[in-house]
C-alpha cells in the first residue's frame, strides 16, 4: 500500500469512495491507510509532484483528501501543503480537503481553511474521530451534489443582487447565443464554472452536451488524447479508437478550465480548432471538424502569461473574442448574506440552520473573502457543524475568518516609504529599454522582499506590512517566482 516515497494506489472499488492521503512520513501514511481501507479506496503520496502524477493517471478522482502541511522539500514549513490545497481544488473543485498536520498554529489553520480546506485535524489524531469527520464531509458533499442536480426552477444559478452580479448576468444573456469563443476570468473560488454552465443553459445549445476538461489535470500527452481523441495503436495502451472531448461535445459547449495550464505544444493545435474548427485524432491523418462552442476559464493573468512567453498571443486574442470577468465576493456587497442562506438550505438535511446576529452579519459583510464563494461555503459548513440551530454572534464568526484581517495594525516605524521623486521617475523613463511592466514587477518584488525581511519570514506579519491579506501575498510570491523562472 505504501512503499517509501512512491505514490501508489489501488484499483478503485465502485462501492467505496476514494480518499487521497498525502504525508511524507511512511509510518503515518501506512498506519492511516490501514485504518481507513475498510471504508475507502486509499491513494497515498508523499510529495506535491507525486500527487500530481498520481491524479493525472488515476482512474477515479478522490472525493476526499487528507493532506499534511509539512511536505518536501520544506517539511518544517507549511508552504508546500498550502500550495497543494490550491492545486487539488484546481484539479477538482468538489474535492473535500481535510488538513492533517502537526503544524496546527492558529494562523496555519485559518490560512488552510481560507484556501479551501474544509477541516483541520491536528496530529496526533484519534482515528475514530477522524473517521467521523471524513464521513461528515461525505454527507455534505452528497447533499451539495444532490442540490446541484435538483436546483429548483425559481432558484437562480448565479445568486446575488449586487450591481456586479446584475451586470454579469446581463452580459451572460448577451453572449449566450454567440458562436464565438468566450474567456471567463476570475479569482479561484469565484464561480467561473457556474458562469460557463449558465452561458450554456441560456443558449440555443442548451439541449446539447456541456463538457468540462481541466487542463491542469493531465500530462501533456494525456491531455492531447483527451481533447482530440486517438486511433487504435496511436500509443501504448490505445487498444481501440476513442473520441476526444471536441468530438463528444458535438454541437454543445466545451469548457476548457484552467486554460493557463495548457502546454505550449498544444496551444497551436487549439488555435487551429478556433480558426477553422479542424483537428486530428492522434494517429490519424484525416482532419475532423469540431462544431462545439468553446469556453475557456482561468484565474491567471493571461496578459502577463503572454508577456513572459508561456501563452501564445494569437491564442489569447482568439479565446478572448468575448470575455467575462467574474467579480470576487468582496466586490459583491450583501450577496454574501444571500449565499449564507442558500448554503444553509443546501445542507439542511444534514444540519439545522444557524442564525447570524446583526453584528455577525455586519462582520461578514466587511470581510474580504480571499477564498471567495468557496471559502464562504466552508465557513457555513463549519458554523452548521458547531452551532446547529443556534444564534451566531460576531465573535464566533470572526474565529472562522482569515486571522490576518483582524491582527493588530503595524506601527508607522515598521513601514517602508516609497521614493516618489519626480526627477527619479523622469530619469527612469528616459533609460534605454525601459519597460513599465518589468519595472512594476521589480518594485513589487522589492517591497515583498523588504516586508519578508522585516517580518523575519512571517507571512502574516509581512502581509500586514504590505496592507494585503496573507492569501494575496502568497499568490503574488508564487507568481513572481514563476515569472522569474520563465
Average pLDDT, integer, range 307-329: 94
pLDDT at 11 > cutoff 70: no
**94 and 170 housed in the same domain:** no
- Residues 144, 24, single domain; the answer is yes
Specify whether 212 is located in the same domain as 277: yes
Q: What percent of the chain has pLDDT over 70?
A: 88
Tens-place pLDDT, residues 184-211: 999 999 999 999 999 999 999 999 999 9
Grid cell, residue 23, equals 504525508
Average pLDDT score over residue span 372-382:
94
Choose one of 88, 117, 149: the last residue of a domain.
149
Query: What average pLDDT does the segment 56-61 reach?
Result: 85
3 state SS of 247? helix
172 and 119 co-located in one domain: no
Q: Confidence band (pLDDT; 50, 70, 90) for 447?
A: confident
**9 or 345: which carries more pLDDT confidence?**
345
**Whether residue 310 sits in one domain with residue 459:** no
Q: State whether 213 and 70 are in the same domain.
A: no
Residue that finishes a domain, picked among 405, 426, 446: 405
In a shared domain, residues 204 and 71: no
Evaluate if residue 153 carries a pLDDT over 70.
no
pLDDT at 308: 87
155 in a structural domain: no
Strand, coil or helix: 218: coil
pLDDT in tens, 332-367: 999 999 999 999 998 887 889 999 999 999 999 999
| Domain final residue, candidates 325, 354, 374 | 325
84 within domain boundaries: yes
Q: 371 and 449: one domain?
A: no
- Residue range(s) defining the domain that contains residue 195: 163-325
Same domain as 252, residue 126 = no
Position 225 in a domain? yes
Q: Is residue 158 part of a domain?
A: no
The string of DSSP codes covering 412-475 is GGG-------HHHHHHHHTSTT--HHHHHHHHHHHHHHHHHHHTTT-HHHHHHHHTS-HHHHHH
pLDDT in tens, 263-278: 999 999 999 999 999 9
326 or 436, greater pLDDT = 326
Check pLDDT > 60 for residue 4: no
Q: Does one domain contain both 180 and 251?
A: yes
Do 195 and 319 belong together in one domain? yes
- Give pLDDT, residue 262: 93
Amino acid at each position: 500500500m505504501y512503499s517509501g516515497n512512491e505514490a501508489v494506489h489501488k484499483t478503485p472499488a465502485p462501492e467505496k469512495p476514494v480518499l487521497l492521503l498525502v504525508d511524507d512520513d511512511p509510518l503515518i501514511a501506512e498506519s492511516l491507510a490501514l485504518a481507513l481501507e475498510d471504508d475507502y479506496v486509499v491513494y497515498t503520496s508523499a510529495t506535491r509532484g507525486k500527487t500530481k502524477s498520481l491524479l493525472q493517471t488515476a482512474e477515479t478522482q478522490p472525493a476526499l483528501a487528507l493532506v499534511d502541511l509539512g511536505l518536501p522539500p520544506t517539511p518544517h514549513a507549511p508552504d508546500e501543503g498550502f500550495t497543494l490545497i490550491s492545486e487539488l481544488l484546481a484539479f477538482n473543485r468538489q474535492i473535500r480537503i481535510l488538513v492533517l498536520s502537526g503544524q496546527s498554529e492558529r494562523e496555519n489553520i485559518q490560512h488552510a481553511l481560507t484556501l479551501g480546506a474544509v477541516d483541520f485535524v491536528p496530529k496526533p489524531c484519534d482515528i475514530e474521530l477522524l473517521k467521523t469527520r471524513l464521513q461528515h464531509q461525505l454527507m455534505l458533499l452528497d447533499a451539495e451534489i444532490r442540490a446541484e442536480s435538483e436546483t429548483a426552477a425559481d432558484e437562480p444559478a448565479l445568486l446575488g443582487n449586487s450591481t456586479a452580479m446584475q451586470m454579469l448576468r446581463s452580459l451572460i444573456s448577451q453572449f449566450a447565443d454567440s458562436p464565438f469563443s468566450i474567456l471567463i476570468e476570475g479569482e479561484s473560488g469565484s464561480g467561473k464554472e457556474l458562469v460557463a454552465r449558465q452561458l450554456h443553459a441560456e443558449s440555443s445549445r442548451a439541449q446539447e452536451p456541456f463538457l468540462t476538461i481541466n487542463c491542469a489535470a493531465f500530462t501533456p500527452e494525456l491531455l492531447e488524447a483527451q481533447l482530440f481523441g486517438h486511433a487504435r495503436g496511436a500509443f501504448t495502451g490505445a487498444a481501440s479508437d476513442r473520441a476526444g472531448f471536441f468530438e463528444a461535445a458535438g454541437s454543445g459547449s466545451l469548457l476548457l478550465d484552467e486554460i493557463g495550464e495548457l502546454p505550449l505544444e498544444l496551444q497551436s493545435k487549439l488555435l487551429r480548432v478556433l480558426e477553422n474548427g479542424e483537428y486530428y485524432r492522434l494517429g490519424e491523418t484525416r482532419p475532423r471538424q469540431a462544431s462545439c462552442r468553446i469556453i475557456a476559464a482561468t484565474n491567471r493573468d493571461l496578459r502577463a502569461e503572454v508577456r513572459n512567453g508561456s501563452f501564445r498571443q494569437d491564442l489569447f486574442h482568439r479565446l478572448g473574442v468575448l470575455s467575462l470577468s467574474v467579480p470576487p465576493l468582496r466586490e459583491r456587497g450583501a450577496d454574501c448574506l444571500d449565499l449564507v442562506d442558500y448554503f444553509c438550505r443546501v445542507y439542511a438535511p444534514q444540519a439545522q440552520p444557524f442564525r447570524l446576529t446583526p453584528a455577525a452579519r455586519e462582520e461578514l459583510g466587511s470581510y474580504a473573502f480571499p477564498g471567495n464563494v468557496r471559502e464562504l461555503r466552508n465557513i457555513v459548513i463549519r458554523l452548521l457543524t458547531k452551532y446547529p440551530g443556534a444564534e451566531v454572534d460576531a465573535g464566533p464568526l470572526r474565529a472562522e475568518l482569515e486571522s490576518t484581517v483582524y491582527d493588530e495594525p503595524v506601527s508607522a516605524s515598521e513601514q517602508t516609504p516609497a521614493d516618489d521623486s519626480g526627477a527619479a521617475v523622469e530619469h527612469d523613463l528616459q533609460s534605454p529599454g525601459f519597460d513599465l511592466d518589468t519595472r512594476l514587477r521589480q518594485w513589487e518584488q522589492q517591497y515583498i522582499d523588504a516586508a519578508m525581511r522585516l517580518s523575519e519570514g512571517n507571512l502574516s506579519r509581512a502581509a500586514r506590512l504590505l496592507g494585503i491579506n496573507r492569501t494575496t501575498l502568497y499568490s503574488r510570491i508564487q507568481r513572481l517566482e514563476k515569472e522569474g523562472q520563465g
